Structure 1
Amino acid sequence: MDLRLVGYFVAVIDHGGITRAAEALYIAQPSLSQAIRSLERQLGTELFDRSGRRLTLTADGRAFLGPARRLLADVENARSRVDAVRDLRTGRLEIAVLSTLSADPLPELISELHRRHPGIRVTVLDPLGPSDVVGRVRRGQAELGLTDFPVKSEMVRIRELWEQEIVLALPPDLAAALPDPVPLEAIAEIPLVLESSAADGRAPIDDVLARAIGFVAVECAHRQAIWELVMHGAGATFLPRRIAETELRNVAVRSTLPQVRRTVRVVFRSGPLSPAATAFLDIAAELSRRRPSPPPPEAGT
C-alpha cells in the first residue's frame, strides 16, 4: 500500500473535502481525486460515497479511517526514531573489550562519547580473549571490538590507535634488588600476580613476556584484586604504564629490557557503521592524536 495515498485519504477527511485538501497539499484537485481512486483500487472497495454534492465516507471508509491514522502515526514515530539515531540523540552501541583495556582507554573513550552524545546507550561485552573480540564483531554480536593484540582476519577492518608500553609494577622491596630497566631474563625469578580467565586459564599475554615468566605466585580473575595484591606485596604484574602510574599506589614501575609495547586497535566489520559507532571512532582518533607517545626504548635495546 502506498503510504502517500493513505496520507491523502486522511487529508481529505481532515480538511472537509477534495478542494481544501488539494490546496493544503499543494497539488491539483484532479490529481488528488485520482490518487483517492488509486487507493480504493488497491483496497478493493470504495471509501467515499460520491452520490451527493459532498463526499461522505462509506462504511468501509469509516472502518479504514482509524487504522489509516494509526499507520501514519506509526510511520512518523519510526521516522522520528531514525532521525534521533542519525542525529545521535539516541542509539545503541555494543563493543567487545579485552579486559586489559577496560581500565584504560575504555573509560576515557566512553565518558567522552557520553559527554557529547548523552542519549547513546553503550553495552560493553567481556570476550573470552583476543580471538573472541574478532569473533563477536564478525558474528554481529558487537559492532566494535577493542583489543591490543594483532588481528589476523580478512573479514574485519582494523584501525590502529596508539602504542602502550607494558611495564612491570612491583612492590618496592622487590624492585630494590633489580636494575632499571629490568632485563626480561631477570623476570623468571620474580613472583608474579597474573590475570586468569575462567574460560581458558591464564589470560593471554605477549609471547615475549610469556617466555620470560618463571615464578607465578598468584593467578586471579579479578583485575582490581590483582592490583591490590601487588600493592600489598604479593608479587609483580605486567600493566600498561598509564595504569601502573595512575591507578596503583606505593609500587615501583619499571620498564623491561627490551621494551615491550602493544598497539591498541579497534576492530569493525566492513560496510556502513551506525552513527554511534562512527562517533566512537572519531573520538578514538581524536584521543589518539592527543595521547603522548610511550618513551623510546633505551639505547641499544
Structure 2
Amino acid sequence: MERRAAEYFLAVVEHGSMTAAAGALYISQPTLSVAIRKLEQQLGATLFERSTRALTLTDAGRSLLEPARQILVDIDRAQRTVRDVVSLRGGELAVSAVPAHAVDPLPALVARLRERLPDVRVVLRSGSTDAVETDLRAGRCEAAITDGPVRAGDELCHHQGEDQEIVLVLPEGSSLPDPLPRHRLNEMPLVLELEDRWLRSELGEYLTHVVVDCEHRQAMRALVSSGAGAALMSRGTAARAVPDHTIVALDPPPRRPFVVVHRGGAPSPAVTEILAAAGMACAGVGSSPVNVPGRPAAFPAR
C-alpha cells in the first residue's frame, strides 16, 4: 500500500464523503473516487458502504484504519531519519579502518569528528586492506582508512595524509643503537601482525626472523613484554600503547601511508566531515586523488 493510497483512504474516513475529502486533498472528486476503487481492487475488498448521504466503513475498511495510519507514521519516521543522517543531526556514521591505524591516528580523528558531530553515533569497523575497501564499495561505511593502494578503477577517490613512522619496540631496558640500520632487523626475533601486508611488503627482505605471527594486535604488547620478540609499529601507536617499552628508530625510517578513501562523485556531508576531521580537503565531483602535504590538523605531532 503506497503512501498516497493511505492518505486518500484516511481523508475519506475523516471527511465522510468523496467530495469533502477531495477538497481537503486539493484533487478532483473523480480522481479520488478512481484511487479508492483501485485500492479496493488491490485489496480485494470493499472499504466503504456507499449511500446517498455519507460513506461508512465496512468491516474490511475498519480493519485497514490502523495499518494505514501506521504506514504514514513509518514513512514520516523514515524521512526524518534520512534527513537527520544527510544533515548530520543524528544517525550513524560508519568508518572502516585497517588495524595499523586503530591506536594512532584514528582515535584523534574520531575525537575531532565527535566534536563536529555531537549527535551522530560513530561506528568503527576493522579489517584488512582488502576488507575495508570491500566495506566501502558495498556501502557498509562512508569512508575507509587504509595504508595501501586501492584496486584499479575511477569509482573511488583517495586522500593522502601524513605518513606514520614505523619504529622497533622492545622490552624496557633493551639496548640497541638508535637509529638502528634496517638490515639489523634480520638479527631480531620479531612479532608481526598476521594481516599486515604493507609492513611485509615494505620491509620483507629484513623480516627473516619472525618468531610469532599474531592475529590479534592487542596481544602484541604482552608478547613483547614477555620477551617473545620485538614488534614494529608506528611511533604514535608505540607512544600510546607501550609507553614503558624501549622505542628505537630505523634507518632509513619506514613510513606507513595514511589514506582516506571514499566513493567517487559528489562527496556526502559525512565524507566532507571525515576529511575535515582528518585535516584534509575534498576536491569534489570528478576529482583526482588528492595529496595533502603536511600534518593533518587533527593529529598531534609525532
- Smaller-chain TM-score bracket: 0.7 to 0.9
Asked if structure 2 preserves the Cα contact closer than 8 Å seen for 1:134 and 1:156, the reply is no
Asked if structure 2 preserves the Cα contact closer than 8 Å seen for 1:93 and 1:277, the reply is no
1:270 maps to 264
**Inter-CA distance 12–190: structure 2 relative to 1 (3 Å threshold):** same
**Which has the larger Rg?**
1
Asked if structure 1 preserves the Cα contact closer than 8 Å seen for 2:278 and 2:298, the reply is no
Superposition CA RMSD, Å: 3.5
Cα deviation 1:157-198 (Å, max 9, x = unaligned):
3222221111222345543x42x322112222233222235x
Residue 289, structure 1, aligned to residue 283, structure 2: no
Query: How far is the alpha carbon of 1:9 from its aligned partner?
Result: 4.1
**Inter-CA distance 85–186: structure 2 relative to 1 (3 Å threshold):** same
**Structure 1 CA distance for aligned equivalents of residues 28 and 66 of structure 2:** 21
**Structure 2 CA distance for aligned equivalents of residues 108 and 292 of structure 1:** 8
Instruction: Classify the secondary structure of the residue corresponding to 1:96.
Output: strand
1:124 maps to 125
Instruction: Classify the secondary structure of the residue corresponding to 2:165.
Output: strand
1:297 maps to none
Query: How far is the alpha carbon of 1:204 from its aligned partner?
Result: 4.5
Instruction: Classify the secondary structure of the residue corresponding to 2:161.
Output: strand
Which structure 1 segments of 5+ residues have no match? 295-301
**Structure 2 CA distance for aligned equivalents of residues 163 and 48 of structure 1:** 74
**Structure 2 CA distance for aligned equivalents of residues 69 and 167 of structure 1:** 62
% identical aligned pairs: 33
Structure 1 segment 112-261 matched on structure 2, within 5 A: 112-115=112-115, 116-120=117-121, 122-127=123-128, 130-154=129-153, 155-171=155-171, 173-175=173-175, 177-178=176-177, 180-197=178-195, 204-261=198-255
73-82 vs 134-143, greater mean Cα deviation: 134-143
14-23 vs 162-171, greater mean Cα deviation: 14-23
1:85 maps to 85
Query: How far is the alpha carbon of 1:242 from its aligned partner?
Result: 0.9
Cα deviation 1:31-73 (Å, max 9, x = unaligned):
4534422323423568463512xx3225365555444333323
**Structure 1 CA distance for aligned equivalents of residues 48 and 269 of structure 2:** 42
**Structure 2 CA distance for aligned equivalents of residues 140 and 22 of structure 1:** 42
Query: How far is the alpha carbon of 1:17 from its aligned partner?
Result: 5.4
Q: How many pairs were matched up? A: 280
Which structure 2 segments of 5+ residues have no match? 281-294
**Structure 2 CA distance for aligned equivalents of residues 257 and 134 of structure 1:** 31
**Structure 2 CA distance for aligned equivalents of residues 21 and 79 of structure 1:** 25
2:284 maps to none
**Inter-CA distance 6–149: structure 2 relative to 1 (3 Å threshold):** closer
Instruction: Classify the secondary structure of the residue corresponding to 1:78.
Output: helix
**Structure 1 CA distance for aligned equivalents of residues 81 and 255 of structure 2:** 43
Instruction: Classify the secondary structure of the residue corresponding to 1:255.
Output: strand
**Structure 2 CA distance for aligned equivalents of residues 61 and 193 of structure 1:** 70
**Structure 1 CA distance for aligned equivalents of residues 217 and 160 of structure 2:** 25
**Structure 1 CA distance for aligned equivalents of residues 184 and 16 of structure 2:** 90
**Inter-CA distance 270–51: structure 2 relative to 1 (3 Å threshold):** same
Asked if structure 1 preserves the Cα contact closer than 8 Å seen for 2:277 and 2:298, the reply is no
**Inter-CA distance 118–18: structure 2 relative to 1 (3 Å threshold):** same
Amino acid at match of 1:227: R
1:40 maps to 36
**Structure 1 CA distance for aligned equivalents of residues 102 and 163 of structure 2:** 16
**Structure 1 CA distance for aligned equivalents of residues 259 and 216 of structure 2:** 23
**Structure 2 CA distance for aligned equivalents of residues 46 and 104 of structure 1:** 63
Asked if structure 2 preserves the Cα contact closer than 8 Å seen for 1:8 and 1:35, the reply is no
1:49 maps to 50
**Inter-CA distance 76–249: structure 2 relative to 1 (3 Å threshold):** closer
Query: How far is the alpha carbon of 1:272 from its aligned partner?
Result: 6.1
Instruction: Classify the secondary structure of the residue corresponding to 2:167.
Output: strand
**Structure 2 CA distance for aligned equivalents of residues 64 and 291 of structure 1:** 57
**Structure 2 CA distance for aligned equivalents of residues 187 and 254 of structure 1:** 11
TM-score by length of 2: 0.74
